[in-house]
Chains A and B, each alone.
Chain A
């Protein structure tokens, strides 16, 4: 029997990131997938990043993961979203050439030390003494492992809908993993059902581009990876068109034929990525919706019309696509479809994504109820890393929500669970002002070096950047200004006699770049990137101090651990509903309990008072 430290099941964004992270952490890893040729495939839209999502990619890159570098290698149009808003809410995004993306990921994995790629279908888990000991393949082969990372995506009981037609499947053309799904049933984990959808794919050669608005990439593209500075692939534009009243009439007339509205789908879809049926019904007062025409690659004619996903029958899709400006003659290469799939309630996971009632098994990606490549990849990285550390008897890695979007993602999943496909937004991060996409390396790379997952090349570039940054900060800190100095430079300040350092001055006053440079010539001589970082930190300084107070309070409450055997039913002051909710969710700490819907301050006080009493009694014994 073959043996590995870690077996990763699945070659999507979660699986590849998990396999890479585990191997970089020093474990012997096998990635098992049904088709090696589909590893690294982008099965939905041909884009990476966005708001919140772009932050995740930056963090994955800061930990030397794959996604940032792959997106840079495959990027054919780069845009920094919210460019005109503050730096904390800017998110990098890129259209990616599917073929280039897949090729990059496959090459990286092939070159990765400690990593083997195996083709096969995992049909079962080996369980020894209540912990996972490996996997069984469809051909009967057994592979033993200390830890298994399952990234099954939408393959679990996947059901594809096109109008009233449906068939079992993962993504189009792939066989669903129902046998593994049956096996997981026995684990007695809570399941839920979600759905997601894709738009019809169009033949770009049949689109009338000449009459459509063109959306260009940024003049100065923002890369995902801290190691890259410019795109490699040829850059292209997207097109923009809109639906119209005629489109909406066609959809309204055929609503009953939609899988969604015809009652064929039980799963809950995301509110923020609605199908065109949803948009027409829910926003009936709007007579037009935007459609982005995104090329899927440089050598591929396929176009992804972002904004018109659907589960209507094919002939209706043809009709509504044809009603849209510029798409009158457009040929559908692959029909739109909705897919329903199972996920497991992520509240059953540990902070490191390990299934708590089956040690050694880790879940990452859509199986935990998330949507999106970036969310999947971030979980893959965390799960792979922790699986490797489990196999090597090292402590699990914790990502705190005050330090990274990865931390926000893992904490949200674990403490709140999922009611609709979970997508990252910047608003999910309450400490958003410090979790910027541009400082992900400053937040995470040091930790990554400690974990041994950072390449020599990145290490060198990171240290050099940190040296310049610290050097500039130190020099600004040493500068010293009286109110008079400042007034003379045109900065409005009250003559309160207090002296301020250069850093304080930057944080406290709104100044033009000229004023800043005149007052602090150190800024002029610094590298642009270093200068930008210092200015951004200074800009948010006052808010960051206040945020720190809130973070400290949160950490204190997280430190108030609720014992796993804490008996809520003995608390006579709790309502029956709250008791059963607490009993079911078993919050790990007071901070987690406070997040439970319907919890009252009085209930929290009651819990806390009883934790203290129990602790006091135990001390007395």
Chain B
């Protein structure tokens, strides 16, 4: 018989509501101890939560019966007011009940897996879904959740098996007549897989960005209105703006959701030959960050012509003073919609890859597969190819794909997945 576990399922801190979730055989007993009588299944009811004679809070209480709940066990959810005091008192009270204990990190999900309510890929994608901040991240996690990665790996594996079979036939049936030269087909397959793996790895850079966020740098001459533009995009005062050129000396970063994509906007020091030491360092950093950013927006003075061809998007500032095409104003908001759309389209192109390798684990497995294909190619174009080495490379690639989808290495996989969960999820 397993324990009954509980945890705060929403983030700590002041909020409108807080959800405390209880799962296990004693979940209903816990509700009863709080003075909550019989509960209807899957329907929210308003109840007073009592600790002894004292009213703790008035809460929305939900009951999910075993077999039809997230964990597969009896689950009771208390939606209380999001006060630290209320939550702490409730958690303290639950701790005092027999058979109840605080959940370990990821324990709810682990129970869901153990009870067959979720499968492994769903668990992994769920972790990402929970962490998703933006629409693009959500879509990406959903795509993996739907099994896209497994399907692609299965196709690759089929190719690997075919190539291996051709090679093994020439090795193991050397004495029997296999007249056809299998090498051309093997080369074809290896070339094709090489290209697919490379493309997938290349595309995964975008996926990683969707997970971790893009960097968009705003660059331009001093006092052209970069900080005003940033403030307007973010909607709150982040960078200090003033009419004095060179006000922004370091790189200012703001994380935001821009058109559904997670973006870190970088406001940089104006690019000019700075006279003071601090500003000079700032300018150097600005150039470096701009170089590393996923996308750069060059802001120009009205009427100025662009000399920096490195920038992805060129916009003219101070549209409130000099309106025109592709011009923006941080003060009035003119042209902001156009700029946001430009940035979004620019970034979208960078994630146009299939975006299935969203975790480092996925990428390292595929990198190994990719290296094996490179090694196989090297052998295959030798005058007298060492087929047993090609076979070993093919096998390593299959092994890597098995690791990728969790056919082997489940042990490590589980540990890794569960270590990435926070308590209560």
Contacts and interface: CB of A to CB of B under 8 A. Distances in A.
B389 A543 contact: yes
Contact of B113 (A427, A547, A554, A606): A606
B396 interface: yes
A571 B171 CA distance: 43
A492 to B, nearest CB: 15
Given A51-B174, A272-B173, A557-B408, A605 B113 contact: yes
Q: Which of A86, A272, A605 has the most CB of B within 10 A?
A: A605
B120 A601 contact: yes
Given A89-B171, A426-B171, A427-B391, A601 B121 contact: yes
Given A557-B411, A573-B119, A604-B406, A432 B388 contact: yes
B326 to A, nearest CB: 49
A402 to B, nearest CB: 13
B171 A82 contact: yes
Given A272-B173, A601-B407, A602-B120, A86 B413 contact: no
Contact of A574 (B113, B116, B388): B116
B115 interface: yes
Interface in B70-101: 72
Interface string B382-403: 0010111101100110010000
B172 interface: yes
A594 B408 contact: yes
A430 B113 contact: no
B175 interface: yes
A590 B409 CA distance: 10
Given A433-B392, A602-B120, A290 B413 contact: no
B119 A606 contact: yes
Contacts of B387: 85-86, 89
B177 A89 contact: no
Contacts of A594: 407-408
Interface residues of A, number: 48
Interface string B28-56: 00000000000000000000000000000
Contact of B395 (A290, A430, A557): A430
B395 A609 contact: no
Contacts of A84: 384
Contact of B114 (A81, A430, A590, A610): A610
Interface string A580-621: 000000000010001000011110111011100100010000
Contacts of A604: 406-407, 410
Contacts of B423: none
B275 interface: no
B172 A608 contact: no
Given A290-B177, A427-B168, A573 B406 contact: no
Contacts of B172: 51-52, 425-427
A571 B410 CA distance: 17
Interface in A547-568: 547, 550, 553-554, 556-557, 560
Contacts of A556: 411
A617 B3 CA distance: 10
Interface residues of B, number: 42
A84 B387 CA distance: 11
B85 to A, nearest CB: 34
A88 interface: yes
B100 to A, nearest CB: 15
A558 to B, nearest CB: 11
Interface string A69-98: 000000000000110111011000100000
Contacts of A425: 168, 172
A50 interface: yes
Contact of B411 (A426, A550, A560): A560
A289 interface: yes
Given A82-B171, A85-B174, A605-B406, A613 B114 contact: yes
B42 to A, nearest CB: 19
Contacts of A546: 392, 396
B199 to A, nearest CB: 24
A571 B176 CA distance: 48
A51 B387 CA distance: 15
A130 interface: no
A557 B402 CA distance: 14
B20 interface: no
Contact of A590 (B119, B121, B123, B410): B410
Nearest to B418: A609
B116 A606 contact: yes
Interface in A39-89: 50-52, 81-82, 84-86, 88-89
Interface in A465-480: none
Given A427-B171, A594-B408, A602-B121, A85 B388 contact: yes
A609 B110 contact: yes
A572 interface: yes
23 contacts: A82-B174, A89-B387, A426-B172, A427-B168, A433-B388, A546-B392, A557-B408, A557-B409, A572-B116, A573-B116, A574-B116, A594-B408, A600-B407, A601-B410, A602-B121, A604-B410, A605-B113, A605-B123, A608-B411, A609-B110, A609-B114, A609-B414, A617-B2
Would you list the 9 A-B pairs with minimal beta carbon distance, nearest first? A573-B116, A602-B119, A601-B406, A572-B116, A427-B168, A605-B120, A425-B172, A86-B388, A609-B114
Given A52-B172, A556-B411, 18 more contacts: A50-B175, A51-B173, A51-B174, A81-B175, A84-B384, A86-B388, A272-B173, A425-B168, A425-B172, A427-B172, A427-B391, A433-B392, A550-B396, A572-B116, A594-B408, A606-B114, A610-B114, A613-B114
